[in-house]
Structure 1
């Protein structure tokens, strides 16, 4: 009865997507087209191209134009500007970085590149380390907040983050960028997309190198810099064999070498992280677009080396392979159904003899109803069979209601979702061998309202969210083992405001109030600030000049589960500018941490001081 009630009344939740271009998957966004449209498309929320107004979950979309306007260089630069998300990093580029979606653990969010899972089975919790991921090769980022286990399976407790590379267009396009700045940091990136006969191709690469700053806080006496170098490449090819029948394949590679500190003092430690991802899909579309089918294969292989100057190297290898298929069919305009199946195998080993694997087989289905214009309801079920933990069934429902019509009509959203995360192979098999751990499970709901304004160029949103999680896994320092904590709860409010090209102005506001606690002890969850604010304003003139500023206000947080070590908040201001020399060439520059704020987000670890960068972009 509870599930029937939720399905019947779901009216969806979400801060509005921040997309600025109406694009479908497989289409390249038109460069320079920055008009906000209510027909924005998201792929990640429903596993199929879907207008934002028909999505009941909280979704944010960041386009290439926004990435360039803010002059972001890393994945965490982009994610930190989104409502409901906070980031922490133990030093500079290459150092461990976590992303908390609505207070969920870093390992409780599913991370994708072009729809392929990149979470690392060799990671402590099976999560993804964002510390060495540059943003230069990506054309689009989609973030779904809230438990998404029905469509995406294990690990999608907090949400889903999808980094998407550019798609080929009929005419060749290319762009290049070079940048230089503080402490000899150099960056160069290139990408090109177009057709070679019947084959669509996308190619890209990114290089980033710098002296960096000490991971151990220089304000505490550190003198040794922790440098880094990152190399990345991506490729994608697609071909249409016959009307409606097509195939695509691609890959992504990134390798980062970096120095690091982990002892509360300078150390001559070095590390390496390498991710290799590949995928292939066969697609069919027929019946005037009412039938869509896909079968696909994806593989992700990760290698990490932490070479401690005293104890020597620790090496982990993680691999995930997946076969999946899905079919969607819309017998009538008012209803459609999506069904699919997946099988996944994970492997893990290290240089201390730990080695094992696990498999999970899944079936899922989702029903979409549009009983009248403006209202979309979704409900779905998923069945997972894990080789170590048996089977589990999860449920989700959401809806979106455009109240009225036109560009000024508000959108009411609500969603309910269940999720689970099996213990990682690292947690199960390292140190003391296999141990009995229970999967983490979650139930979450949210409700929100989106209100357009400023002649349809702006959106204001407010969202309330609540998630309860059981069996959180933590590390026991006394017994040197992992154990299930019990219960936690994360609830709060997200406020968002986005204005795009209103009389030359772009404005972004993202504020989150979060109360994330261990319900058994009453302690705040570690490293989650109660409040987090990002605000920016940019102005463009017809002569080609652009000026902008941003403000980040991070709240204080506890650095440990016992709430004994408190890290204070911070206020950081940045300025930026750009000038179009010609139609195809733009020079730009920025100053980060303008007032040289001294702060930490992880206790004893440093953050960058005042720094300046300048660069050039070329588009063809």
Structure 2
């Protein structure tokens, strides 16, 4: 009897050791966000379990066993079951030189980087954390092929596979939704981004119109906002610079039951900078609420509010620029931005093969300004002309998308429709300006004269589809097609003229944009890709209607051919990502000077853009990370005539051939939390005018960053423009002379932060 009891107890012990249920969650070690789809398996078994939509897992395991946690883009972790049982949350660290990260911008849905036949780069949460950027150019310029131009106080313009310019050739997205409406592009659109609420950034180089529609020509930049953390987290940081810049960031996040919340924002203020009349302030707040009803239904709501105002500073002439004379002759010019964006998304998973999302959104944006560039001197007097204008729109829109996985050839079909109705208004009032003998614009007087006053009903409807399949092992083919129709209902509130604008009328533009691409997996984190894509950009409403008798502009179209690949080396300690492209533009909208000396927009341009882009990451030692990226490109006029002068085969103005950014970071193992980094930004020489008569020599810029993090406390010191280099972010030549936009002088930015992390 005694032996029988002992046998029963032994059997129960054995059964209990194998029947123990291990429960927990898996989350990102940096962002504290849960990770769905993580593989959890016993070391001695091939099959395992995946975490659900809330990052939860349950697996039967023996206390003497170990489990392996693996997820694409993260360092695989092995841990004893006995240890894991004491840890309600298991954290995974992202890989530094990861090639096959998960992206969302290439297909409007989650996919692996190696399945996307496009040139795409990701700015990770770790990069955002280490850079401590006060402006977005400081992180975007780390992406190969990207030059975001700093125009001061978060004002900017962009150059991606295009020269430095101000045309609507770049699409800016927030969680896959354009920040501004089609037809009302503004090169300063990223003022409306809340930097404190970003999780990561994805940059597509080249046309992305087959999924996102118009303006996605040179590239599309998708700003992905923070997600709620599993555990309660609160962060406060303050920073300031030697040039009067002060900023405070706050972020609070957590999950209660099935509902997650996140609130993040910042207030920044600049006073007494190195240039006269260069103050600004900005308030940015984003709130997100996510509710996971169950494994099949999720509801996401996001709201962003921006309130911004800055003094405007223009470029300097040669004498003032090279003498480092930063006096500003503007004393009252300004730009003011107010924006509100609301978004609500319902996601439903029908089964393992079908997923649908419905998004409704609202946007309200107003840009008011007294622009320096609209000031015109009256000859032989101390008087000038100018204007105060306001551009505003409201948007009401919806996007419905469905994804279907098909068993045949591992196929995936993504289809969607979208509608965006955005009534827009533009008003410009004439002002009379006084100058003093020193050349300062000292005051202005409003008048009763209205220069421009119109309303445009902008309606953009679209349908798109993308089909992916694998016709052979390791080969993936992607085909996409989108149809857009843009309707402009223009109502001029003034008597039409060559200045007040065109007569009231309706215009519409249509575009069918295809994409065909393929990827080939060579194995061992190596692969090749190629694609053909088309991008288009309809005329902006200000180009189409303002200052013209009859609107005659057509959409510009761009045809892009590219190929590239990604290659891991040194036992996955390093990686190379390279792209080669040729893009031809037709019907480009350019500013042409007519016989009267005035500028007008015409479809007279045809261009060719060719280049190579590269990005190399290497970790020779565990404590050292090296990255370099850049582009070598040629931008050529094929057909461009200005005032009777033909500039065919000239290099396009404001088009650097070389742009590179290189960085090395040291994080010593003996001093956890410490980092020291150095960065070199190089912008090569370029012509300042289409005639190719004057060249700007470009610049070298060196930056240094040092920081230390201990538990929840963090401090840092960034030195931008380490050598106090005199350089221009833009250099242009016109009939009025040369103009240089001075880059920021040597700047020391110091900050401290504390993160409160709760427990569950």
Structure 1 length as normaliser, TM-score? 0.89
Report the counterpart of residue 79 of structure 1 in structure 2.
140
Structure 1 residues 120 and 364: alpha-carbon distance in aligned structure 2, compared to 1, 3 A threshold: closer
Task: Tell me if 1:600 matches 2:728.
Answer: yes
Q: Is the 8 A contact 2:239 2:749 kept in 1?
A: yes
Q: Is the 8 A contact 2:314 2:741 kept in 1?
A: no
SS in 1 for 2:195: coil
Report the counterpart of residue 364 of structure 2 in structure 1.
301
Q: Aligned partners of 1:137, 1:325: CA distance in 2, in Å? A: 25
Report the counterpart of residue 98 of structure 1 in structure 2.
157
From 191, 203, 209, give the equivalent of 2:263: 203
Q: Is the 8 A contact 1:304 1:316 kept in 2?
A: yes
Q: Select between 483-492 and 27-36 the one with higher mean Cα deviation.
A: 27-36
Task: Tell me if 1:591 matches 2:719.
Answer: yes
When Rg is computed on C-alpha atoms for both structures, the one with the higher figure is: 2
Structure 1 residues 178 and 541: alpha-carbon distance in aligned structure 2, compared to 1, 3 A threshold: same
Structure having greater relative contact order (Cα 8 Å, sep ≥ 6): 1
- Deviation track 1:127-169 (CA, whole Å, cap 9, x = no partner) reads 5533575633211000111111111111111121011111113
Q: Aligned partners of 2:92, 2:131: CA distance in 1, in Å? A: 16
Shift of 1:22: 11
Q: Aligned partners of 1:138, 1:259: CA distance in 2, in Å? A: 26
Q: Select between 361-370 and 431-440 the one with higher mean Cα deviation.
A: 431-440
Task: Tell me if 1:554 matches 2:683.
Answer: yes
Q: Aligned partners of 2:658, 2:281: CA distance in 1, in Å? A: 33
Q: Aligned partners of 1:176, 1:373: CA distance in 2, in Å? A: 50
Q: Aligned partners of 2:574, 2:35: CA distance in 1, in Å? A: 19
Report the counterpart of residue 416 of structure 2 in structure 1.
340
Task: Tell me if 1:329 matches 2:392.
Answer: no
Structure 1 residues 452 and 363: alpha-carbon distance in aligned structure 2, compared to 1, 3 A threshold: same
Q: Aligned partners of 1:263, 1:594: CA distance in 2, in Å? A: 23
Shift of 1:536: 0.3
Q: Is the 8 A contact 2:121 2:204 kept in 1?
A: yes
Structure 1 residues 177 and 298: alpha-carbon distance in aligned structure 2, compared to 1, 3 A threshold: same
From 421, 441, 459, give the equivalent of 2:537: 421
Mind listing any 5+ residue stretches in structure 1 that lack a counterpart? 1-18, 215-222
Structure 1 residues 177 and 299: alpha-carbon distance in aligned structure 2, compared to 1, 3 A threshold: same
Structure 1 residues 367 and 209: alpha-carbon distance in aligned structure 2, compared to 1, 3 A threshold: same
Structure 1 residues 394 and 375: alpha-carbon distance in aligned structure 2, compared to 1, 3 A threshold: same
Shift of 1:71: 2.5
Report the counterpart of residue 699 of structure 2 in structure 1.
570
SS in 2 for 1:68: helix
Structure 1 residues 165 and 212: alpha-carbon distance in aligned structure 2, compared to 1, 3 A threshold: farther
Q: Aligned partners of 2:340, 2:661: CA distance in 1, in Å? A: 33
Structure 1 residues 552 and 390: alpha-carbon distance in aligned structure 2, compared to 1, 3 A threshold: closer
Q: Select between 181-190 and 125-134 the one with higher mean Cα deviation.
A: 125-134
Aligned Cα root-mean-square deviation (Å): 2.6
Q: Aligned partners of 2:307, 2:694: CA distance in 1, in Å? A: 34
- Deviation track 1:244-276 (CA, whole Å, cap 9, x = no partner) reads 122211122222211112475520112212222
Q: Aligned partners of 1:22, 1:367: CA distance in 2, in Å? A: 30
From 513, 520, 530, give the equivalent of 1:401: 520
Report the counterpart of residue 253 of structure 2 in structure 1.
193
Task: Tell me if 1:374 matches 2:449.
Answer: no
Report the counterpart of residue 508 of structure 2 in structure 1.
389
Q: Is the 8 A contact 2:312 2:371 kept in 1?
A: no
Structure 1 residues 131 and 203: alpha-carbon distance in aligned structure 2, compared to 1, 3 A threshold: closer
SS in 1 for 2:349: strand
- Deviation track 1:556-603 (CA, whole Å, cap 9, x = no partner) reads 1233444444322111111111122x2111211121111111111223
SS in 1 for 2:330: coil
Task: Tell me if 1:488 matches 2:607.
Answer: yes
* Number of residue pairs matched by the alignment: 586
Shift of 1:35: 4.5
Shift of 1:56: 0.9
Task: Tell me if 1:118 matches 2:179.
Answer: yes
Task: Tell me if 1:138 matches 2:225.
Answer: no
